[in-house]
């Protein structure tokens, strides 16, 4: 995972598959999800580590009830939502073991200190701070103190929140990445603002990426063109239309096409240069240059009648045509001969 945090890396962004609650409350589904993600080409798998008790209270008070306009309002309370959505911690351990067996790098978002302690026992290589936790500087510090890199998400974070979080990370010399994110599920494409990605990199001096809650692939494509090092996106098993996050998740069978297109976009962007690449140099013969079009005797002047700009490119550039008119030939020349400096009397001396 080291190249995730390398600002100089010249490789396509890594595709991070977020499982979240898309396991339908079944361990077999969670393990099948990890295998399927690997099969479909995922570069990374991310899980969320919390329990209903570590993230909220079991309360029916108005503050703990989900508002009518909330994406998960049908669950009633925060506790009931997280009871449905969470991944049991013994499953997390099983997922980590499986991912290491099948060589699929896996990391996690912890939501409290106990989750960090649990993940440290699993040797979690990277920690992701979900954007609702951005003001929990204690959690951020707990992650930073492990010595592992930390990923921050901007979804519910403003500029000040990020500055404070980065200040904590810097105190512990923690490597960091910031993901552009909009915490709306799904996110309308016109609100994703991928233009923020290079701006964030400049503002905060770190690698950047996209945490994508849009329904399609377009935001990921735009982020790739703008320099994202990682694309994190929620996925679901192909047959899963009922898990808690399935409604805004991409089907895993769409992952190969997403990844293939992202790679093509990355290589199409390339580097800023006007150098003619080696692959194009054979086509230089298609450029025009100056050739003799009528017989010219030694000492005779070059004119617009006996010299023409034509293809191929092996004679003098056409920009020299006006300058050579009136100069004389150093030798007899036939139609099809290149006009070159040594064929023009006095040319070398006048252009040294």
pLDDT digits (tens, 9 = 90+) for 33-89: 999 999 999 999 999 999 999 999 999 999 999 988 877 888 899 999 999 889 999
For residue 225, the model assigns a pLDDT of 97
Q: Among 86, 127, 132, which Cα is nearest to 106's?
A: 127
- What is the average pLDDT across 246-255? 96
User: What is the average per-residue pLDDT within 297-315?
Assistant: 96
pLDDT score of 350 more than 70:
no
Residue spans in the chain of domains classed CATH 3.90.1210.10: 278-350
pLDDT at 4: 86
In CATH, what number does 11-51+86-269 get? 3.20.20.70
Task: Tell me the percentage of the chain whose pLDDT exceeds 70.
Answer: 99
Q: What's the CATH code, domain 278-350?
A: 3.90.1210.10
* pLDDT score recorded for residue 269: 95
Per the CB < 8 A criterion, the answer to whether 15 and 255 are in contact is yes
Mean pLDDT of all residues in 80-103: 96
pLDDT at 256 > cutoff 80: yes
Residue extent(s) of CATH 3.20.20.70 domains in the chain: 11-51+86-269
- Is a pLDDT exceeding 80 seen at residue 1? no
For the chain, give the secondary structure using H, E and C.
CHHHHCCCCCCCCEEEEECCCCCCCCHHHHHHHHHHHHHCCCCEEEEEECCHHHHCCCCCCHHHECCCCCCCHHHCEHHHHHHHHCCCHHHHHHHHHHHHHCCCCEEEEECCHHHHHHHHHCCCCCEEECHHHCCCHHHHHHHHCCCCCEEEECCCCCHHHHHHHHHHHHHCCCCEEEEEECCCCCCCHHHCCCCHHHHHHHHHCCEEEEEECCCCCHHHHHHHHCCCCEEEEEEECCCCCCCCCHHHCEEHHHHHHHHHHHHHHHHHHCCCCCCCCHHHHHHHHHCCEEEECCCECCCCECCCCCEEEECCCCCCCHHHHHHHCCCEECCCECCCCECCHHHECCHHHHCC
pLDDT at 10: 87
């Amino acid at each position: 995972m080291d190249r995730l945090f390398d600002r100089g890396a010249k490789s396509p962004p890594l595709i991070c598959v977020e499982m979240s609650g898309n396991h339908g409350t079944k361990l077999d589904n969670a393990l099948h999800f990890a295998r399927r993600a690997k099969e479909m080409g995922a570069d990374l798998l991310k899980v969320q580590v919390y329990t209903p008790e570590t993230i909220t209270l079991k309360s029916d008070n108005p503050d703990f009830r989900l508002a009518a306009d909330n994406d998960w309002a049908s669950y009633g309370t925060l506790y009931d939502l997280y009871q449905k959505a969470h991944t049991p911690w013994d499953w997390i351990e099983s997922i980590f073991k499986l991912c290491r067996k099948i060589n699929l790098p896996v990391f996690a978002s912890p939501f409290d200190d106990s989750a960090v302690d649990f993940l440290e026992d699993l040797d979690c290589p990277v920690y992701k701070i979900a954007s609702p936790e951005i003001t929990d500087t204690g959690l951020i510090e707990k992650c930073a103190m492990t010595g592992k890199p930390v990923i921050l998400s901007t979804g519910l974070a403003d500029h000040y929140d990020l500055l404070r979080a980065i200040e904590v990370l810097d105190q512990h010399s923690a490597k960091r990445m910031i993901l552009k994110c909009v915490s709306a599920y799904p996110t309308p494409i016109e609100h994703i603002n991928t233009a923020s990605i290079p701006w964030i990199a400049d503002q905060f001096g770190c690698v950047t990426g996209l945490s994508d809650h849009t329904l399609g692939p377009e935001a990921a494509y735009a982020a790739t063109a703008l320099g994202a090092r990682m694309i994190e996106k929620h996925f679901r098993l192909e047959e899963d239309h009922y898990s808690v996050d399935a409604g805004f998740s991409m089907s895993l069978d769409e992952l190969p096409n997403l990844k293939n297109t992202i790679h093509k976009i990355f290589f199409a962007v390339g580097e800023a240069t006007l150098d003619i690449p080696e692959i194009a140099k054979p086509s230089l013969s298609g450029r025009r240059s100056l050739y003799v079009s009528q017989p010219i005797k030694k000492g005779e002047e070059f004119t617009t009648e006996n010299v023409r700009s034509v293809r191929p490119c092996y004679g003098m550039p056409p920009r020299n045509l006006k300058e050579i008119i009136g100069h004389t030939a150093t030798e007899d020349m036939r139609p099809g001969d290149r006009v070159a400096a040594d064929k023009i009397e006095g040319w070398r001396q006048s252009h040294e």
